[in-house]
Amino acid sequence: MNQTPFKNSAQKNNRLERIWLLAKIEFKLRYYENKLGLLWALIRPVSLLLIYFIAFKVIMKTTIENYSIYLFAGLIVWQFYLEATDGLTRILSTKKYLYEYSNMLKIEIYLASLISILLGFVFNFSILLIFLFATGIGVNINILYSPLLLLVLFMLCFGMAMILSNLFIYFKDIGQIWPLLTQLLMWLSPLFLNAKDLESNIPHIEVFNPMYGIMTNFRNITMYHLPPDFNVLLINTAQAIVVFCVGYLMLKKMGGKASELL
């Protein structure tokens, strides 16, 4: 009897279990070694929320309604993007032992790290839902679009992580350049600014900044009870697929030299 299908199935299950185990270990190392544990996943966006709230609501008198919820919704999306891109720029260096001394594929190491970041996002998303109900905003059926938006964000971040980390193999300066570029991208995103103001001042901003569309659609389905803008969602999905494919090709072409160059 041919045992190959069963063997392949067992190997696949073993890989999935290994990815999940590594993701859980990273998640625990990220939070549970600290005295406040998982609360640190909340403390960072809440701290930034207070800073931006004072700057833009108290001092600059922004007219955006429910500004604290508006900020928090944008911050948890931005925090995921930041941790998954800037945070994984050096992953081929810091996790070198995994692909050198085990049979883990490099793409599995990326996936495990992204899942660990995703767990923190899910925690903060739960807090956002609590805020929405506590303030009387609530949610409606459009919240069901959240897994789709999260998938687009996940794929975009996956691709960016592969691109940045492979560039880092050859150009260490990317570790200094990318944080500066993220600052620019932050100001071109509706993180604490009104999305309509950005769009009116920078036409077609969603075409060259996917975070604009993802963040705007995330707020639409959570706090504004609206369906996502499907035209923008289609653009962002195409962008995420292209970025992922470019990142994967770079990993295949350049990642093989990571061991000897890092």
Structural domain contains residue 2 = no
CB atoms within 10 A of CB 118: 20
225-262 tens-digit pLDDT: 999 999 999 999 999 999 999 999 999 888 677 655 65
CA distances from 180 to 82, 153, 185 (A): 12, 21, 9
CA distance 218 to 164: 25
Domain limits for position 45: 10-261
- Check residue 158 and give its pLDDT: 96
**DSSP character string of 152-219:** HHHHHHHHHHHHHHHHHHH-TTHHHHHHHHHHHHHHTTTSSS-HHHHHHHSTTHHHH-HHHHHHHHHH
Q: What is the mean pLDDT of residues 178-197?
A: 89
Report yes or no on 4 lying in a domain.
no
In angstroms, what CA-CA distances link 249 with 77, 213, 246?
26, 25, 5
Determine the Cα–Cα distance for residues 84 and 27; give it in Å rounded to an integer.
13
**What is the model's pLDDT at position 8?**
58
In a domain, 161, yes or no: yes
Asked, for residue 201, whether it belongs to a domain, the answer is yes
Residue type, 127: I
Answer whether residue 228 is part of any domain: yes
- What total number of domains does the chain contain? 1
Return the ∠ at Cα 261 (arms to 104 and 96), rounded to 5°: 30
Per-residue pLDDT band at 6 (split at 50, 70, 90): very low
Residue 255 is assigned to a structural domain of this protein: yes
Q: What is the mean pLDDT of residues 200-207?
A: 85
Question: Measured between alpha carbons, how far apart are the two ends of the chain, in Å?
Answer: 46
Q: What is the 3-state secondary structure (H, E, C) of 14-78?
A: HHHHHHHHHHHHHHHHHHCCCCCCCHHHHHHHHHHHHHHHHHHHHHCCCCCCCHHHHHHHHHHHH
Does the pLDDT at position 100 exceed 90?
no
pLDDT of residue 17: 86
Cβ-Cβ contacts under 8 Å for 245 (sequence gap 6 or more): 159
What is the per-residue pLDDT for 4? Answer: 58
Tell me, what's the pLDDT at 36? 59
- Mean pLDDT, residues 62-71: 86
Q: Which two tokens stand for residue 124?
A: 């903060």
Q: Is residue 80 part of a domain?
A: yes
- pLDDT tens by residue, 160-174: 999 999 999 888 888
Q: What is the pLDDT of residues 124-151, one digit of tens each?
A: 898 899 889 988 899 999 999 999 999 9
As a whole-number percent, the residues of the chain with pLDDT over 70 amount to 87
